[in-house]
Each structure stands twice: as C-alpha cells, then as structure tokens.
Amino acid sequence: MDVKPIGADEGLIYRDLRLRALADSPDAFGDTLEHALGTPRETWIERAREIAADGGHEQLFIARDNGIPCGTTYVRMASGVAHIYAMWVDPAFRRRGIASGLLATATAWAENRGATLLELWVTAGNDGAARLYERAGFQLTGRQDALRPGSKLKIHEMARQCGRR
C-alpha cells in the first residue's frame, strides 16, 4: 500500500475515485453522485492541478495497492486547524490498513504544517469509520449537523489535538 499526494496530471484518477466513492457510500458525503457526474472532466483535471500546486493549505491523498488507486482523503488547513474530508476506500481493498494509512498520512501532513487540531465529520451509523477515527485518537465533540440540506441523516464532528493519540 502506498499513499501519496495527488499529482497535477491525476485529475481523472481523482474523478474516478470520487465517483466510485459516491456510488458506494452515498450517505457518507455531503456531495452526491448526480452532482459529481455533472461536473465537467476539465474541472476535475484543473482541480487536481490546483491542489498539487498548492501543497501548503490543502492536499488530496490517493492510496494505491499494487499500483491500483483504491482510496482517497482530502485535508485542508485553516488557522491551525486541519479539516479532513472525503475519506474512502474501495470495498475490495478494505481491511488492509489502507484507511489507517490515509488517515496517518493526512495527519502527518497537517502536523508538519503546524496544525494544532484535527477535525472531521462522520455520518451517524457509519460505525466502522467512527471506530477508525477513535483508534486514531479522535473524540466526538458533541456538534452535529445534517449530512446535506434536506437530509434526515446526521453527521457528528470528531476532533483530536495534534501530537496526541
């Protein structure tokens, strides 16, 4: 398993992973498959270039198993707080430590850029993801929200101080 930042030329890999994630786990993300399918290919390509060029305030990581893209997560820094979004691993590649690798890589990236706090949101009922985050030292903050406007599904915020597990 290998986790690396997105390359400037990997926009269509990013698109493929995101579409697979939204099809597999529609209740885990604020975005919808329908919306993502309507996004022009050029937008995905440009977004990968933007993320790869930035490197300091945001990063998208792609996990590969034997060279096959199989997971992703996105992290963005804002005022010393790292926000982790869109963690997903292809079901055929689960239970191999890929999600843990993605989370550890995103955490290290954020801490190397001075993050003092890590935050993420998890959908209520997504117990596997919640357990992963708890093992990594995240705790529920008590904040919750709707998954997306009009959704009855709730998301719960989890956070942890940097440098602690």
CATH number where 58 lies: 3.40.630.30
pTM exceeds cut of 0.75:
yes
Residue 165 pLDDT > 70, yes or no?
A: no
Q: How confident is the model at residue 3 (pLDDT cuts 50, 70, 90)?
A: very high
Instruction: Say how many domains are in the chain.
Output: 1
Lowest mean pLDDT among 52-56, 97-101, 125-129: 52-56
Domain that holds residue 28: 2-161
Contacts 24+ apart (CB under 8 A), 15-23: 15/39, 15/41, 15/44, 16/69, 17/62, 17/69, 17/71, 17/72, 17/88, 18/44, 18/72, 18/86, 20/88, 20/90, 21/72, 21/86, 21/88
Q: For the segment 46-71, what is each residue's pLDDT rounded down to a tens digit? A: 999 999 998 689 999 999 999 999 99
